[in-house]
Structure 1
Amino acid sequence: MNLINWNCQGLGNPRSVRALQDIVRRFNPKVVFLMETKAKVRHMERIKNRMGFANGLTVPSRGRSGGLALLWDRGVDLEIKSYSKNHIDAVIKEQDNNFYWRITGFYGHPETHRRYESWQLLAFLNNQSQLPWLCLGDFNEILSISEKEGGTIRTQSQMERFREVVNYCNFQDLGYSGSDFTWSNMQEGNDCISLRLDRALANQEWVDRFRSLKVHHVADSTSDHHALLISDSTSKRYAKEKRFLRNVGKE
């Protein structure tokens, strides 16, 4: 099962919609989680239909910011459990063997002083189920200084709070292939800042079940974020574009 996670930075621009359509066409995902759609329910419904998805849940934007969407294929047995402006939580039933697992799309608060609310939410979600769990999204935080290049040094306390909730949830980082960073401020030279803000986390039960699934960073041409492709495919299509390739490499 292919899954896509993308902070699309708005779907009001036709170019962004075409970029999403291209990602869907290239990778044929069964589930797509979108952040920062900056879209209302009716607009997202049109986009869902254009992408060819039978089902979807939209958390509408507030003004010109925010907005989440979870889209899934007709053949996916998915039940929404809860949602907010920062998450969508669902359970998927594998039709061939009645195996249940949990998927949570997560968007961390962009404001640093409110990020503790994100970690409280993640800890709360952890206590709601014992199912094998995949949590993916833009967490707006990094786990170590190696996940940032350029700009001021991230404080250890800021990263430690994120590490604490990852450990509390018994998550493993699923790693990645592709660029070391998933976000760039798109500046040049000394002004360029890049971070790995987007990631996929899972508990041991999920990892044991889906060992063949890998995370790929997929370059795009309209958002300052890479998309994440979670797939068991060995295809190299995810690497055909390298939009901020100059940033590859860790501190």
Structure 2
Amino acid sequence: MKILGWNCRSMFSPTAVRELLELQGRTKADVIFLLESHLNKYKADEVRRVLNFDSMFVVESDGWAGGLVLFYHKINKVVLNYVSDNFIDILFMNEDIVQWRFTGFYGRPSWSERSLSWDDIRNLHCKGKHPWVVLGDFNEILLSSEKEGGNAIPNAMMRDFRNCLQEMYWQSLHLEERRN
């Protein structure tokens, strides 16, 4: 399965749609997750048709910012699990059995709300026992060496993100130990 994630920062321009079509032509993605799409359901449906997908989940933009869209094909047997302004969480099914889980995630851009993003990740992690893939823009980095130019990121911000990921890692290990 191929999944394409793109922080497109608006799909209103014909150039953005052309670029997405080109990416889809090269990757042949089975699922496309767009962040900051700035789309409503009507416009997202137009893009869906252009890309030849038959299904989608949309978190509408406020018109100026945000917006998430996940395009997929019905043959993939996808079920919407959870949704918010910052993520779309789906389950991939085989018959009536969950095979794995995917979350398209967009971290809150405001530093004052960043911890809410980590709360979202923690809550999503606790609500599933299946293999899980998270893709998106967390609006955070793990290490200062990942950033070039601009203002420095406070160490506390990066530490909170690292702590969140480490917590989930250790919880996953303990869950795996209990299963065996």
Structure 2 CA distance for aligned equivalents of residues 5 and 94 of structure 1: 23
- Residue 168 of structure 1 aligns to a residue whose secondary structure is helix
Matched pairs, number: 171
In the TM superposition, what whole-angstrom CA distance separates every residue of 1:139-189 from its partner, at most 9, and x where no partner exists? 000001121112232211010110111112218xxxxxxxxxxxxxxxxxx
Runs of 4+ in 1 over 6 A off after TM superposition: none
Task: Report Cα offsets for 1:44-78 as digits up to 9, x if no partner.
Answer: 01110110001100110013110000111232111
- Residue 48 of structure 2 is aligned to residue 48 of structure 1: yes
Aligned 1:207-218 pairs, distance under 5 A: none
Q: Which has the higher helix share?
A: 2
- CA–CA separation in structure 2 for the residues paired with 1:154 and 1:62: 28
Q: Is the 8 A contact 2:24 2:51 kept in 1?
A: yes
Aligned partners of 2:18, 2:9: CA distance in 1, in Å? 13
Task: Report what 1:223 is aligned to.
Answer: none
In structure 2, the residue matched to 1:90 is: 90
Unaligned runs of 5+ in 1: 172-202, 205-251
Q: Which has the higher contact order (CA 8 A, sep 6+)?
A: 1
Whole-Å separation in 2 of the counterparts to 1:29 and 1:82: 22
**TM-score normalized by the length of structure 1:** 0.65
Aligned residue runs from structure 1 range 1-251, under 5 A: 1-94=1-94, 100-170=99-169
With the length of structure 2 as denominator, give the TM-score of the two structures.
Answer: 0.90
* Aligned amino acid, residue 71 of structure 1: F
What is the alpha-carbon distance in structure 2 between the residues aligned to residue 170 and residue 5 of structure 1?
Answer: 23
> Over aligned residues, Cα RMSD in angstroms?
1.6
Percent of matched pairs sharing the same residue: 33
Q: Which runs of 5+ in 2 are unaligned?
A: 174-180
* Superposed displacement of residue 99, structure 1: 6.2
Deviations 1:54-110 (A, max 9, x none): 110011001311000011123211111011110000111257xx6610100000011
**Contact 2:91–2:98 at 8 Å: present in 1 too?**
no
